[in-house]
Structure 1
Amino acid sequence: PESTPTLDPRLALAQGRPQHGDSALRRTGRTIRRLTTSAAQEVTEESRIAREIQQPVTTGRVVAVTSIRGGVGKTTVAALLSRTFGHYRHDPVLALEADAALGTLPVRLGAGSVRWACADLARILHPAMQLTDITGYLVPVSDGGWLLPASQGRVGAPLDVATYRTVTLALRRYFAATVVDCETLPGEVARTAMDTAHARVVVAPMTPEGVGGTRLVLDWLGQLPHSALTTTVVALTATSPDMTLNAKAAAAHLRETGVTVVPVPYDRHLAGGGAIDATRLAAGTRKAATRLAAEAMRRAVRVR
């Protein structure tokens, strides 16, 4: 297939300069606090989380990311997870897009163009292929890792369950960690991915209907034969600086099912769309992303 740009060149030119996730005042305040307090405890916690993310695996681990509806930060969370795994781990990491035909994971990961998609690769995969053969069909990610998009950015047939199973089963042996950006529930591919993944991340918007709908998903996961709740983490996202729902109450409602909830704060850089620049993320966002990656990897490694 021919390469296709992920973003129309005219739109790329129209993009303004990306904002930093934290305001200048907040960044200055954080610098002052660092100068006046001991950083030993913070360094210890960061080292602990890094060890969780770097846990060795005997077979490839798959982390599926989904939500109950679009526009809540699902793809953004998937991109943050894959970038975090790529940064901390020293083995191959794959970001796999299993969203609808017009998913935005390639844009979020900074891919200028895409060529091979899931369906294209599914037709040529065979057991004799080496990692170097596979990566020739993938898009390299700047911070480390690889990307396989679901499509070439054109309207067409969505990814089907058979193709998803073929690709994930074949690629697991090449990549230590695969982050799957699923379609929203109750899509068939999303349900298959959630049922077969080693760990699951459900993205819940910090709104009454978002938390309520996510609670229904968690109740469904608890009814699966292998009790998927033990390997599920919820990312509670704030998509606006003016969220009115009490975050502690929302997290407590979701924790009643037994899952871990990781709040992901509002970030001006992420809200602007486009490619994610790790150097522009707010400090709270970086901490949330590393904690989410550590929680997901711990659960993925637990599964045999």
Structure 2
Amino acid sequence: MLGTSVAREVTEGTRLAQEVQQPVTTGRVIAVTSIRGGVGKSTVTALLSRIFNHYRRDPVLALEADAALGTLPVRLGAESVRWSCSDLAQILTPSMQLTDVIGYLVPVTDGGWLLPASQGRVGAPLDVRTYRTVTMALRRYFAVTVVDCETLPGEVARTAMDTAHARVVAAPMTAEGVNGTRVVLDWLAQLPHAALDSTVVALTANSPDTTLDVRAASAYLRETGAAVVSVPYDRHLGGGGPILNTMLGRDTREAATTLAAEVMRRAVRVR
């Protein structure tokens, strides 16, 4: 029985890795948002970025699209920030090569790149035009761009969710979080294209003890057509510092890989 269990685990791990590694013909943009701050949106973005960087061999970018001093640079271990989204939007040209572009980005430990929304201070809100300019241009260079959006109903967040190849809604494992996320999913259902088919809910636990019936909550959210992946509480994530794959609990790594596989499968289906 033990051998059979291990074999199944290896088979499932291989399947998930293959999903994450799917080749793309054009860069895929994955937008991550939430109904309010402090529910793990930047943590989910950083987790996805780490998993994609671990499994993929093509360039991966983590893009922060929230100028309100978000935590993405901290979560990815950025020691310094020089250029922001708005700065890069003013200098991007079609003739630039990847080697030119990465000179304005922050290299991430263990692979990948980061483009922050600000230079370590509260700045002007990122506008939709700047967001579109940067994401459309950088898709040429990066196979996967994971965007840490502002919270809904911000204009950039709504634009990002509408135009992304796949969407992730970070939701806390609370009754309020689940009910609020259901409202977001119902809104996505009204978009002119099949947005829910490419949406995954990351149900995150911010405490080791939760009274929420996770199975019932997941079933309630899946009624909309979106996928749901539960991300368990992890002391390493709860510390608030840089996220390191080697420090994550086994269940957390499996959940993050499952989330990345679900998202990539949906992103690749969109032309």
> Do Structure 1 and Structure 2 share a fold, with TM-score over 0.5?
yes
Residue in structure 2 matching 1:137, options 104, 109, 115: 104
Spell out, residue by residue over 1:45-73, the C-alpha distance to the aligned partner (whole angstroms, 9 max, x if none).
11100000111100000000000001110
User: What amino acid sits opposite 2:189 in the alignment?
Assistant: G
* Residues in 1 aligned to 2:5 and 2:258: alpha-carbon distance in whole angstroms: 21
Counterpart check, 1:102 vs 2:38: no
CA contact (8 A) 1:103 1:153 kept: no
* Residues in 2 aligned to 1:79 and 1:38: alpha-carbon distance in whole angstroms: 30
Counterpart check, 1:187 vs 2:154: yes
* Structure 2: runs of 5+ lacking an equivalent: none
Residue in structure 2 matching 1:226, options 193, 202, 206: 193
Q: How far apart are residue 142 of structure 1 and its match?
A: 1.0
Aligned to 1:258: 225
User: What amino acid sits opposite 1:158 in the alignment?
Assistant: P
Aligned to 1:249: 216
Counterpart check, 1:117 vs 2:99: no
Q: How far apart are residue 189 of structure 1 and its match?
A: 0.4
Residue in structure 2 matching 1:283, options 247, 250, 256: 250
* Residues in 2 aligned to 1:265 and 1:37: alpha-carbon distance in whole angstroms: 25
User: What amino acid sits opposite 1:273 in the alignment?
Assistant: G
Q: How far apart are residue 40 of structure 1 and its match?
A: 1.6
User: What amino acid sits opposite 1:127 in the alignment?
Assistant: P
* Residues in 1 aligned to 2:14 and 2:247: alpha-carbon distance in whole angstroms: 22
User: What amino acid sits opposite 1:199 in the alignment?
Assistant: A
Aligned-partner SS, 2:134:
helix
Counterpart check, 1:90 vs 2:90: no
Q: How far apart are residue 155 of structure 1 and its match?
A: 1.6
Spell out, residue by residue over 1:2-31, the C-alpha distance to the aligned partner (whole angstroms, 9 max, x if none).
xxxxxxxxxxxxxxxxxxxxxxxxxxxxxx
Counterpart check, 1:65 vs 2:32: yes
* Residues in 1 aligned to 2:157 and 2:43: alpha-carbon distance in whole angstroms: 17
CA contact (8 A) 1:101 1:153 kept: no
User: What amino acid sits opposite 1:283 in the alignment?
Assistant: R
Aligned-partner SS, 1:184:
coil
Counterpart check, 1:74 vs 2:41: yes
Q: How far apart are residue 37 of structure 1 and its match?
A: 7.2
Pick the structure with greater CA Rg: 1
Q: How far apart are residue 166 of structure 1 and its match?
A: 0.6
* Residues in 1 aligned to 2:115 and 2:225: alpha-carbon distance in whole angstroms: 33
Counterpart check, 1:164 vs 2:131: yes
Residue in structure 2 matching 1:201, options 163, 168, 171: 168
**TM-score, normalised relative to structure 1:** 0.87
**TM-score, normalised relative to structure 2:** 0.98
* Structure 1: runs of 5+ lacking an equivalent: 1-32
User: What amino acid sits opposite 2:215 in the alignment?
Assistant: K
Aligned length, in residue pairs? 271
